[in-house]
Chain A
Amino acid sequence: MTIATALIYLLAAVLFIFGLRFLSSPRSARRGNWVAAAGMALAVGWTVVLLWPSFTAAGATICAVGFVLGAIIGTVGARMVKMTAMPQMVAMFNGVGGGAAALVAVSELLGLHGARPALQSGFPSVFAIVVGGVSFAGSGIAFAKLQELMTGTPITYPGQQAVNALLGLLILGLCVLVLGVTGAPPVFVALLLLALVFGVAFVLPIGGADMPVVISLLNACTGLAVAASGFVVGNFALVVAGTLVGASGTLLTKLMSDAMGRSLANILFGAFGRPREGVGLAADGDRTVRSGSAEDIATMLAYSRRVIIVPGYGLAVAQAQHVVRELADQLERRGVEVQYAIHPVAGRMPGHMNVLLAEANVPYEQLKEMDEINDEFKQTDVALVVGANDVVNPAARNQPGSPIYGMPILNVDQAQHIVFLKRSMRPGFAGIDNELLYDPKTVMLFGDARESLTKLVAAVKTA
């Protein structure tokens, strides 16, 4: 490696580090993204310069076509995606990176024409194939769950752990085979296929609500797979950048699961051995739910002193962020104090609600984080819950058997009145019943969040 190459890759690595640093603070976050992008342009651009003399005709063509096509797909995908579908988009971009890392390693092994790889390149190769493959397939399942192409509830079957353990053992066995006996293509192709199967099996039993943490974990995995590929092709830019992501991604995964009040192990393996709670409401036949008209609720809101809006995923699906702000504007015009209580994991990603509400120009000062606002519910006339459920479920506080027990929740139950805007009585993402819906001080307004809010806006105007 020439000095120029070393220095340029070093500069790129420094830019990545500054990018991550800037991304950790709201004021500099956007700049951080561009700093990292500049580092990337530098590293990729210089690599092309380096490779220029050695491009074969076919190589040049596939690089150019692949890059242009990929850039178009990436830009269009990222630009067109709705803000609500952001999480699954990140999952997809992460998955393809993992896939690329696995393919780079596969390609290096192919170059050996069946010879057993030396341990120092063979070990990172099998690592990149396995981890990259798991990340690719796992991200695909995460995408499907969030996009609701498949059910968001954990998929479990008897003997699942045994099957997964067996898969793990098979993968380990094939790794040993590649490293110790033969580098024949069928062996590592089988390894890649098994890694894909394992990725699917790994994410299936995890519930849709936990997907953000899973995506973050898979993101860290892809980072490590990329670092391993760096060892394989002997490129330190890959090693440094991949490891940076692997390490920071691991820490971020921990921060996210902390915000949900759960351990990572509980998120990943929680579905096993937990008796499935009866989701059915049939057993609670004698409990009644009070459903109100938009006019009643509007009157209640309009004559309150203080209202706290609790947004959840329902707000995101209904694209109701603009209407909710309109309602808040109407209420403020009448002298009602309006704030938003943002649970750290409301929606399907941390920060999801902030992004949506910021899109609708809701002033920052009205967005309150959980710790900031939890004591204020006591002095609040109405808590208006828009499409949120699990994050306000008191079971997290008082039912030790509940899957969400221990998760910090918003103290909505302490408000004078509670209004739920919900599509149906269907339980939230965690699949558990919410006591609060049956509380005497709760009123339900069933329907799509946007339609309900539109009705409320109209009714508040005339109230």
Chain B
Amino acid sequence: MNESLLTFFTYFVLAAFVGFEVISKVPTILHTPLMSGSNAIHGIILVGALLIAAGAHTPLSIALGFVAVLLATINVVGGFVVTDRMLEMFRPRTPGGERERGR
């Protein structure tokens, strides 16, 4: 096992602990937005997709790279936008008044 692999493995284990700790107490109403938000975060695969697509030169690698970038971008952009739309609904309203939107 070489050193960089060991380093990566360390990141992996530590990140797993952080992931468990960071969302310890979540009210039920936020389960869906939280799932959706974390769904957007794994859209980081876009970075991986860009890495393989950047140097593409054969038809096969071009096709693969294109689909990977496309799918990953849908994951990232769609994920954050849809989460924001859900959370928009939780916006506190102005006291006594109705929101102008959503009627």
Contacts and interface: CB of A to CB of B under 8 A. Distances in A.
A246 interface: yes
A34 to B, nearest CB: 7
A48 to B, nearest CB: 7
B53 A93 contact: no
B22 A243 contact: no
Interface string A18-43: 01110111100110111011011001
B91 to A, nearest CB: 7
A97 B103 contact: no
Interface in B14-71: 15-20, 22-57, 60-62, 64-71
B41 A19 contact: yes
Given A94-B75, A120-B5, A62 B53 contact: yes
A250 to B, nearest CB: 8
A75 B81 contact: yes
A366 to B, nearest CB: 13
Query: Which interface residue of A93, A232, A255 has the most chain B CB atoms within 10 A?
Result: A93
B28 A93 contact: no
**Interface range for A:** 35 or more
Contacts of B43: 40, 93, 97
A351 B27 CA distance: 9
Contacts of B36: 86, 90, 93
B32 A240 contact: no
A34 B48 contact: no
Interface string A223-244: 1001101111111111111111
A227 B12 contact: yes
Interface stretch (A63-71, A159-167, A262-270, A284-292): A63-71
A86 B82 contact: yes
Given A89-B78, A97-B75, A222-B42, A26 B64 contact: no
B12 A54 contact: no
A106 interface: yes
A242 B44 contact: yes
Contacts of A108: 52
Contacts of A43: 44, 47
**Interface range for B:** 35 or more
Contact of B76 (A12, A74, A251, A255): A74
A183 interface: no
Contacts of A62: 53, 56, 62, 65-66, 69
Contacts of A247: 15-20
B77 A71 contact: yes
B30 to A, nearest CB: 6
B28 A248 contact: no
Contacts of B64: 103, 106-107, 110
A352 interface: yes
Given A59-B57, A226-B45, A227-B12, A100 B37 contact: no
A232 to B, nearest CB: 8
Contacts of B18: 17, 244, 247
A227 B50 CA distance: 16
A20 B37 contact: yes
A245 B39 CA distance: 7
Nearest to A322: B103
A349 B31 contact: yes
A216 interface: yes
B41 A100 contact: no
A255 B26 contact: yes
Query: Which interface residue of A60, A74, A227 has the most chain B CB atoms within 10 A?
Result: A74
A100 B67 CA distance: 8
B12 A243 contact: yes
A233 B52 contact: yes
A103 B44 contact: no
A51 interface: yes
Interface stretch (A356-364, A388-396, A443-451): A356-364
A79 B28 contact: no
B31 A252 contact: yes
Interface of A: 12-13, 16-17, 19-21, 23-26, 29-30, 32-34, 36-37, 39-40, 43-44, 47-48, 51, 54-56, 58-60, 62-63, 65-67, 69-71, 73-75, 77-79, 81, 83, 86-87, 89-90, 92-94, 96-97, 99-101, 103-104, 106-108, 110-111, 120, 212, 215-216, 219, 222-223, 226-227, 229-252, 255-256, 259, 322, 342, 344, 349-352, 354-355, 358-361, 369
26 contacts: A17-B22, A30-B90, A33-B87, A40-B44, A55-B54, A66-B66, A67-B69, A90-B79, A94-B75, A96-B71, A96-B75, A107-B52, A107-B68, A219-B42, A223-B42, A236-B7, A237-B44, A241-B42, A241-B44, A242-B44, A244-B15, A244-B38, A244-B41, A349-B31, A355-B86, A361-B99
| 5 nearest CB pairs, A to B | A70-B73, A247-B19, A74-B78, A66-B69, A74-B77
